[in-house]
Structure 1
Amino acid sequence: MTLIVFAGLFAACSNNSKSDKIVDNDSAKNGKAEVTTPIKTILFFGTSLTAGYGLEPTEAYPAVIQQKIDAEKLPYKVINGGLSGETSAAGKARIDWLLKQKIDVFVLELGSNDGLRGLPVLETAKNLQSIIDKVKAKYPDVKIVIAGMQMPPSMGAKYTSDFKNIFPQLAEKNNAALIPFLLDKVGGVAKLNQADGIHPTAEGDKILADNVWVVLKPLL
């Protein structure tokens, strides 16, 4: 911090006082005070897909959503609550810590790691509902968005069908907005995925952001 001599400090204080008077006079003339819009919070809660595995933080789709928000001059800030390897059970245990801050919009992207491990569909659905219940109990006015996920055919026809149905069912039950399939136009497209074939590239995450934005924007 720069040290300021007494004389300079005195002069600065005198100038500030004059400026305050000018502002006050202008406000009195206009008859209105400047109003600031409070910033609301969007929490993205999910797996490595949300965390942006293998990407720069600015390339993960929640960060791209923040860029879209800023371009629209909307009063929202994005918090990326993604964690690589997260299951629905682990998410249920972790959500309480993140709810210490006020949440206005909650985007839930969990379940894919459950599916890849072949965990029971009913167990995944129950855990996701528990997470939603915790969020709604803490913030009753929160707007909820659920990101739908799908499993590859190798998991079996019945399992893939039952898993896919988790998300629209949860959305209907909780009056939540639904992203039908987060990885739409990206899943299975080699050039849009990293070498592991699972996690999108930066270009892929831009498409994920578009998939989310078309559902999220009307809620803001």
Structure 2
Amino acid sequence: MTNLFSIFDPSTSMKINLNWMSLLLGMMITPSWYWMMSGRYLMMMMKMLNKMNNEFKMLIKLSINKGSTLMFISLFVLVMMNNSIGLYPYLFTSTSHLSVTLSIALPMWLSFMLMGWLKNTKHMFTHLVPMSTPSTLMPLMVCIETISNLIRPVTLSVRLTANMIAGHLILTLLGNNMMEMSFMMLPIMTLIQTTLMILESMVAIIQGYVMATLSILYSSEVN
């Protein structure tokens, strides 16, 4: 069981923390012509980003915050790229560590809270009590809303970390057991592994979308 979690160890065999360089691996392996000339990859990426931009426009008031979608689209691409990189053999999944996910969620949540309490103080106070709340339940609702606001960076980071760790652990467990299985069970196990790999690839994209969407909803509440 101790070796099971060794895939999430950021240290290499020489005890050098070079695995954290996987955060920049997506930009390093991207060829320079990708940014300068059109192609199929650029067309596919632009279609995806335009689709994301149209969806994020419905959640943000662009008349007030023009260009805000670019920040959340960048967040989506960053999380999706790091989640997908971890699916390759012998590559480190940086988003499976709380030190990475919390360093993304905490400054973003803190900036939202500071902007809301300094710019829209009355709105933030009224947001602590939902509409149509009985007067007897108002003190309790204030406590519940305060706690829910305080744990938002934790829920954002833990959700992403837990999903990445769960999928990688299942793939690792099945991969280790394949060495001890009979020859007749290998095709079935290979099919299961392929299905899980496709599912994990979808989870890598969905988790980036969920984190970007929740960040937009949190920012719209304080604006």
Structure of larger gyration radius: 1
Say which structure is richer in strand. Answer: 1
- TM-score of the alignment, normalized to the shorter chain, above 0.5: no
* TM, length-normalised to structure 2: 0.24
Q: Of the two structures, which has the highest relative contact order with CA contacts closer than 8 Å and spacing of 6 or more? A: 2
